[in-house]
Structure 1
Amino acid sequence: MIKREKYIQKIRPFINKDLIKVLTGMRRSGKSVMLDLIKEELLSSEVDPSQFISINFENMNNTHLCDAVSLHNEIIKLSAFIKGKTYLFFDEIQEVKNWEKCINSLRIELDCDIYITGSNANLLSSELATYLAGRYVEFVIYPFSFSEFIELYNTIHLGMTNQQLFNEYLMYGGMPYLANLNYNKEAVNRYLLDLFNSVELKDIVKRNKIRDIDILERILAFVTKNIGTTFSATSISKYLKNEGCSISPETILNYIKACVNAYLFYPVKRMDLRGKKVLTVNEKYYIADHGIREAVYGGNQTDIQLVLENIVYMELLRRGYTIHIGKIDNKEIDFICEKQNNKIYIQVTYLLASQETIDREFKVYDTIKDNYPKYVLSLDPFNMSQNGIIHRNIIDFLLEE
């Protein structure tokens, strides 16, 4: 287990504060481990472990607690034996019916500090916001970054260069449990396929009461194959019609939204840089973990341009940026990244192997006259910066603080 200190740094200021800490993200992305790391943080500040109450609602032994009243009564009973503040850790809280009512009541009744995890974006719906009245703070937990992957991979396989490690990361991705499999290729593929099926069944089909699983799987396959590619629901509808399946664009959008709510896909909207407005058509989607794509669909090496974009996009999310695709006339900038009052532009390409590629990646910035940093990222080992545009090696970019 690695410490994931960057997450702990974000959570630390809210420990022992009257705010519910909500950890969200895709199934098996490390949320349960984060609860353990928070417990370690508390123990290091001399909190007694007897003050902890922890419940995982995917454990069948806790099925009887999966409604608000039963859970509330159990916690009130257990907390009566605790001296001092009670620390509550609820894993996969969405399994509890009307859980928000219970959590809000416990927050009011007890001297407690509450931490919850969930695998669905609807966890923070408007209804929840109403019950908790702004009394929560959210932390999205993503699969391992490249730097976290190196930290764990190096405990198993020593002596590899960063380039060799990146080649492994391209294929395996960043799901935390893979270290327990010693990154054995066959075992990893089996695990990631099972994970994909679990997300599909539990977090998409079951939660959204989807009946036509065949159509869903076709949409999943299309989006997984076409990460980082601009498309519309209408284009998917036409594609499926050619495959012999008739489905409306509206239904396709609902299915994709269910996948987004399960944190499997992340949508990126396009921004017209001339009109300064966000466009509502032809989004791009990226997958939470590119290793899942390799296990389910394959082709990460063949589609390395798209996979590199996916890796950079997820890293930008980890760094806290709000991201759009930039559209200017008939050209696109891969990522416009904003955080507080800062902005950066990023182009991602595999290699700057020809003058045509160099011109395409650098000259797209010619019409942008502001002074925010503009980057071109590639796997080239040499610095090819020009005209104030910064060229960075992707591996170096991923490893920088």
Structure 2
Amino acid sequence: MKLYQREKYLRRIRPFYNDDDIIKVITGVRRCGKSSLMETIAEEIKAQGVQADNIVYIDLDKRGFHNIKTPEQLEELIEKHAQADGLKYLFIDEIQNVEAFEEVINGFRNEGGYSIFITGSNSYLLSGELVTKLTGRYLEFEMFPLSFDEYEGMKKFYKKPISGNGAVELNSYILEGGFPRTIHIDELSAKRTYVNGVIDEIIKKDIRRRVKIKDIAAFETVRNYIISNFGATTSIKKLYDALNNNGLKISRATISKYIQILLDAKILYECPRFDIKSKKSLSGEKKYYLADLSFYYSLNTDNRINYGPNLENIVFTYAKSMEYAVSIGRIGKLECDFILRSRNMDYSYVQVAYTILESKATEDREYRALEAIRDNYSKYVITTDYLMQKRNGIHHVNLMDFLNDQQEF
């Protein structure tokens, strides 16, 4: 099957295709498309005239490689397949399956003549030994499931039906999620079954292999509670009170541990709060967003869409996929949904709402926080409206058009 090209990621990695001194590390939640991205990179390198013998591709999740568990086995496997002369391109998928792989990868990097690409499905990949041994010698490229623009692009690429109504497509994206494999699944119930399988796989391969969880039922309760309340301002104390009031006797330390596990597995992303006036991060309350909205809908039977957190989640993951640092802004008693910082250290301020056309009060609520910010960085109100408001130089944009055009903030 011809692969859909995830261009927003490919254009970041292309400048490093031929660099043998930098390890290219592709991370992201399981099944978000890392393997397909690596396959695309390998195909692009072949198209540049590189011989097939110079490309070594090892998928440690596939049959035939399941028994590769030690660094010695990995090194022997690489040497067996890397016999060609000249620069060799080494691709290793799900490398975290091999204990202490760092020494092997660092050895081939130090030897030279290998342009190395590796993937991993959790944050353990970039912790401990790898960071210690390879500081300054690797680049991380974080992937996400399909953003709305990619969801539309992939459906078009594979000739799947697309509604001419942007709001209908947005609803479909919210309910179906952005895992690439689900584009090829027609029934919504089957898509949900697939995502449940992804969740089970994450628990089995990315969590239980690495972390000892004594009380699985308590962990699942915490997981389900946070996923069901994504986008809500919360704190460890609030979570502790809510869970204990619901009959789960659990400590704050255990809640913190379970949240960190979900963050490391890239199921959740943390969005901290930032005081715009004092320019300081705020401890305590924060929000958690999902790597993909399908995590919520696969664990809940309710298909009603609460647009507030859903649209925030879409903007959050889109901004992250465009390499923005994201936080929540507070200015006095007002809150700005997102403060975005680009890699060039430019800032943008964003409010997200389904519509501002209901009333003047609704419009004022969304604009008030932005109008209270006194610097000259760009400010956005993002809605599903097609009638645009002009007010105090603030950009009012349509969510679907903004994402489909892959615009930057």
TM range (shorter): over 0.9
Q: Name the CA distance, whole Å, in 1 between partners of 2:66 and 2:264.
A: 24
Whether the 8 Å contact between 2:163 and 2:169 is mirrored in structure 1 is no
**Structure 2: which amino acid aligns with 1:307?**
N
TM-score normalised to the size of structure 1?
0.96
Q: Which has the higher mean CA deviation after the structures are superposed, 104-113 or 324-333?
A: 104-113
Q: Which runs of 5+ in 2 are unaligned?
A: none
Which position in structure 1 is the counterpart of 2:321? 318
Deviation at 1:374, TM superposition (A): 1.0
Deviation at 1:58, TM superposition (A): 2.0
Deviation at 1:287, TM superposition (A): 0.2
Determine if the alignment matches structure 1 residue 359 to structure 2 residue 364. Answer: yes
Determine if the alignment matches structure 1 residue 35 to structure 2 residue 49. Answer: no
Q: Name the CA distance, whole Å, in 2 between partners of 1:377 and 1:312.
A: 9
Q: Quick one: structure 1 residues 307 and 158, their matched pair in 2 at CA, closer, same or farther if it must change by over 3 Å? A: closer
Determine if the alignment matches structure 1 residue 343 to structure 2 residue 347. Answer: yes
Q: Quick one: structure 1 residues 123 and 357, their matched pair in 2 at CA, closer, same or farther if it must change by over 3 Å? A: same
Deviation at 1:202, TM superposition (A): 2.2
Which position in structure 1 is the counterpart of 2:139? 137
Give the match's secondary structure for 1:207: coil
Q: Name the CA distance, whole Å, in 1 between partners of 2:183 and 2:370.
A: 41
Which position in structure 2 is the counterpart of 1:179? 183
Deviation at 1:3, TM superposition (A): 0.9
Map 1:119-268 to 2 at 5 A.
Answer: 119-154=121-156, 155-158=159-162, 160-181=164-185, 183-268=186-271
Whether the 8 Å contact between 2:231 and 2:287 is mirrored in structure 1 is yes
Whether the 8 Å contact between 1:331 and 1:364 is mirrored in structure 2 is yes
Q: Name the CA distance, whole Å, in 2 between partners of 1:259 and 1:35.
A: 25
Determine if the alignment matches structure 1 residue 372 to structure 2 residue 377. Answer: yes
Q: Name the CA distance, whole Å, in 2 between partners of 1:173 and 1:64.
A: 33
Match of 2:93 among 72, 86, 91: 91
Determine if the alignment matches structure 1 residue 274 to structure 2 residue 286. Answer: no
Q: Name the CA distance, whole Å, in 2 between partners of 1:380 and 1:159.
A: 17
Determine if the alignment matches structure 1 residue 103 to structure 2 residue 96. Answer: no
**Structure 2: which amino acid aligns with 1:98?**
A
Q: Name the CA distance, whole Å, in 2 between partners of 1:165 and 1:302.
A: 14
Deviation at 1:122, TM superposition (A): 2.2
Whether the 8 Å contact between 2:227 and 2:295 is mirrored in structure 1 is no
Q: Which has the higher mean CA deviation after the structures are superposed, 286-295 or 259-268?
A: 286-295
Q: Name the CA distance, whole Å, in 2 between partners of 1:231 and 1:158.
A: 37
Q: Percent identity among equivalent residues? A: 36
TM-score normalised to the size of structure 2?
0.94
Q: Which has the higher mean CA deviation after the structures are superposed, 188-197 or 23-32?
A: 188-197
Give RMSD over aligned pairs: 1.5
Deviation at 1:85, TM superposition (A): 2.0
Whether the 8 Å contact between 1:51 and 1:82 is mirrored in structure 2 is yes
1:189-212: CA deviation from partner (whole Å, max 9, x where unpaired)? 110111122212322233212121
Q: Name the CA distance, whole Å, in 2 between partners of 1:229 and 1:133.
A: 35
Question: How many pairs were matched up?
Answer: 399
Q: Name the CA distance, whole Å, in 2 between partners of 1:66 and 1:330.
A: 54
